Amino acid sequence: MSIYLFNPNTNPDTTKAMAELASAEGLRVTGRTAPFGVPMIVEPSSLAQSADAVVAMLDELLDAGAPIQGIIIAAFGDPGLAQVRAKAILRDKGISVCGIGEASFIEAGAEGRRFAVATTTPALEGAIRSAVDASGMSANFLGSFFTKADPFAAVRNPAWLVELLAEAVLEAKTAGAEAVIIGGGPLAKAASKLVGKQDLVIIEPVPAAARLMARRIARGA
């Protein structure tokens, strides 16, 4: 399968980590890194710029005539998802598209579960809520719970990041969440370390997107 994972930030290490996680779900995934933007998206203007980078990556593939079966947009606010879906050529070619935010909301809210997001970027709270609304899962959403540290400092210290996210997960659980999404592409490795260590469902957005992509390809959606 020709599945591409678009990393909307400019950090190739994040691209590699996310492509490996997606491939572990049984897809053969090729990572692509944003040609411009920021190394980590932490506020709305960067999120908007990353949407342009997503469209640029898609246009480059289409111009090259690359075979494409699916595209995973691997930033939690799903930047560029609406723009990519609006391209008629993707519909004509039957190319499936999903975002890691969209996929995690759908998986977290399955069977009516109440869910929340634990992440590092309080400036993106509105963007996260908008993405939940776009996924159709807002009725089950309890809100976002944020780590108490600078996002860049937290990501530079993996062990500390896991501790900070665990605290945010506990806050979400106390608020009534039955599932918690660890929200953000750069948090993918930290998310994997929290699975099975909390008394509730932890959703990893990148594997959730790979599973949703596999289902959509199977049914031609």
* pLDDT 10s digits, 104-129: 999 999 999 999 999 999 999 999 99
Mean pLDDT of 145-149: 94
Could you tell me if 68 and 93 are in contact, meaning their C-beta atoms sit under 8 angstroms apart?
yes
> Is 32 in the same domain as 70?
yes
> Is 173 in the same domain as 136?
yes
**First vs last C-alpha separation in the chain:** 15
Return the percentage of the chain with pLDDT > 90, whole number: 77
Mean pLDDT of the chain: 92
Tell me, what's the pLDDT at 132? 94
Tell me, what's the pLDDT at 189? 81
Helices marked H in the chain: 12-23, 44-64, 81-85, 88-93, 100-108, 125-135, 151-156, 158-174, 188-194, 205-219
Mean pLDDT of 56-62: 94
Number of domains in the chain: 2
Tell me the pTM. Answer: 0.92
CB contact set of 143 (below 8 Å; sequence gap of 6+): 116, 117, 129, 175
> Is 114 in the same domain as 27?
no
Task: Inform me whether the pLDDT recorded for 89 exceeds 90.
Answer: no
> Is 28 in the same domain as 92?
yes
Split at pLDDT 50, 70, 90, the class of 25 is: confident
Residue 38: domain span: 3-99+207-219
CATH assignment of the domain containing 161: 3.40.50.12500
**Pairwise CA distance, residues 136 & 134, whole Å:** 5
Could you tell me if 43 and 77 are in contact, meaning their C-beta atoms sit under 8 angstroms apart?
no
Tell me, what's the pLDDT at 91? 85
**Pairwise CA distance, residues 107 & 203, whole Å:** 8
CB contact set of 145 (below 8 Å; sequence gap of 6+): 116, 117, 118, 119, 168, 169, 171, 172, 175, 180
Return the percentage of the chain with pLDDT > 70, whole number: 99
> Is 93 in the same domain as 35?
yes
> Is 199 in the same domain as 214?
no
Task: Inform me whether the pLDDT recorded for 179 exceeds 90.
Answer: yes
> Is 147 in the same domain as 90?
no
> Is 50 in the same domain as 125?
no
Provide the β-strand partners of residue 180.
Answer: 116, 202
Could you tell me if 100 and 41 are in contact, meaning their C-beta atoms sit under 8 angstroms apart?
no
> Is 67 in the same domain as 135?
no
> Is 143 in the same domain as 48?
no
> Is 111 in the same domain as 87?
no
> Is 90 in the same domain as 115?
no
